[in-house]
Chain A
């Protein structure tokens, strides 16, 4: 059984080394506490610890309001992710197709959508398309660019996963007489999932992050609701701090959930 690198590097310490480590740990902990105290002091001296700036967080209405914003965020993220997963599959199929007439447009679409910032695509939907006569609702102005951008990335993730499955599997399946579709869906894809799932979850986190651009198209999500609270209570630092924490927790939760999901797959 191989030990982790840290254990090899620092493991099996002599009693002297152990004492040194403990002492340094205590010093490190002390320094970190000092840092935390310094931050708290700065908050205090800047007047950011005043009750009036935090008191509204004690009211359930505030949290209900933030929750509504979070719901808006998640609605956009979920739809964007769903479309991206499906569309990405189509794009990947086009990318791996043998006829050039399918492959080249797919490659072009993927490279184009992957290579432009999501914010730019949002501006396209918001500022440019309407003059061409295409009018979308605020929800779709946010969700569609995110979905398209993510679909291209997802297509590449699928492709990498599919290419990582050993060729022998495909050849064996074909020699058994399975059709190409059967080969793909029963042999290749399930095995590719093992490689794909972590990358897909990472993309899901990026999708949630992209929804923060909702305020650009004035879609009501968490960031927008934060601004309403700020306009009501003039409490910039506490509100932005809490909202940032909520985003971090949600994304962290998604990553953690994936790790828990990823285990039984193989």
Chain B
């Protein structure tokens, strides 16, 4: 098995490296906008406008509960019939952004609930407007208190980039590469081992970074 792997890396090393980079790229491209969008949704949900709250709750419930593959298939295969033709890689990124934003909004909501209302009252008495309060008092503390679930979300997102193997994208990420190697050659087991190692290593790295960040910014109440 050991020399299977070394032979595989000799033949396909660059392909694995490219695939890993693509995985990281898709993860980053979906996580950042996803979190920003989720934070916006969480903030807007605080406003006492029933239609807005209802719509945002609907948004969160839909994108939390829909399977990512179903969403991706809808975007890639059905949206063009509605005259929205989105290319494959942006479709994958869009799918992940929508799902990430829904989970982020949910985690932030519980994070927001940990903030003592005394702080809000104090801010109000200082004459701050609600929007300002949300922006400078509520969101920063909420974000600091949800680092742990957000780390899990980032890892889950990274693993979800395997979705990209289901659409005919020009580039191959790790899962697509394993599928191709398993189909075309006998090196399936070795390819799987290498890809799995890369995924696990990335996940552990993120978890370690997340734990360190959490310890630093966590608010002890």
Contact = CB atoms under 8 A, between A and B. Distances in A.
A and B touching (C-beta < 8 Å)? yes
B21 interface: no
Contacts of A118: 159
Main secondary structure, interface of B, reads: helix
B200 A117 contact: no
B192 interface: yes
A43 interface: yes
Contacts of B61: 248, 252
A120 B81 contact: no
A65 interface: no
Given A6-B48, A236-B77, A120 B70 contact: no
Contact of A9 (B55, B120, B183): B120
Interface in A108-164: 111-112, 114-120, 123-124, 127-128, 131-132
B210 interface: no
Interface of B: 46-52, 55, 61-62, 64-71, 73-74, 77-78, 81-83, 112-113, 115-117, 120-121, 124, 130, 133-134, 138, 155, 159-163, 165-166, 174-175, 178-179, 182-183, 186, 188-189, 192, 195-196, 199-200, 203-204
Given A21-B49, A28-B51, A209-B67, A120 B82 contact: no
A237 B70 contact: no
Nearest to A22: B49
Given A9-B133, A119-B175, A124 B78 contact: no
Interface string A37-77: 00000110110100000000000000000000000000000
A244 B165 contact: no
Contacts, number: 155
Contact of B69 (A25, A124, A205, A212): A212
A240 B77 CA distance: 9
B130 A251 contact: no
Contacts of A212: 67, 69-70
Given A117-B160, A223-B69, A237-B81, A25 B138 contact: no
Given A123-B175, A237-B78, A116 B199 contact: yes
Contact of B47 (A10, A45, A128, A240): A10
B104 to A, nearest CB: 15
A143 B68 CA distance: 18
B117 A8 contact: yes
B117 A2 contact: yes
A29 interface: yes
A96 B204 CA distance: 20
A101 interface: no
The 6 closest A-B CB pairs, nearest first, are: A115-B200, A251-B65, A127-B182, A128-B188, A117-B162, A209-B67
A76 to B, nearest CB: 13
Interface string A1-34: 0111110111000000000010011001100100
A9 B128 CA distance: 10
A216 B178 CA distance: 14
16 contacts: A9-B134, A25-B52, A28-B49, A43-B82, A46-B82, A111-B204, A114-B203, A115-B159, A117-B161, A120-B175, A123-B192, A212-B70, A244-B71, A247-B67, A247-B70, A248-B61
Nearest to B51: A29
Size class of the A contact interface (CB-based, 8 Å): 35 or more
Main secondary structure on A side of the interface with B = helix
Given A9-B120, A240-B78, A244-B71, A120 B174 contact: yes
A48 to B, nearest CB: 6
B52 A21 contact: no
A223 B130 CA distance: 45
A210 to B, nearest CB: 8
Nearest to A126: B182
A252 B65 contact: yes
Contacts of A10: 46-48, 130
Contacts of A244: 66, 70-71, 74
A258 interface: no
A111 B200 contact: yes
Contact of A248 (B62, B155, B186): B62
Report which residue of B65, B67, B124, B192 has the largest number of chain A beta carbons within 10 angstroms of its beta carbon: B67
B199 A115 contact: yes
Contact of B50 (A25, A43, A119, A131): A25
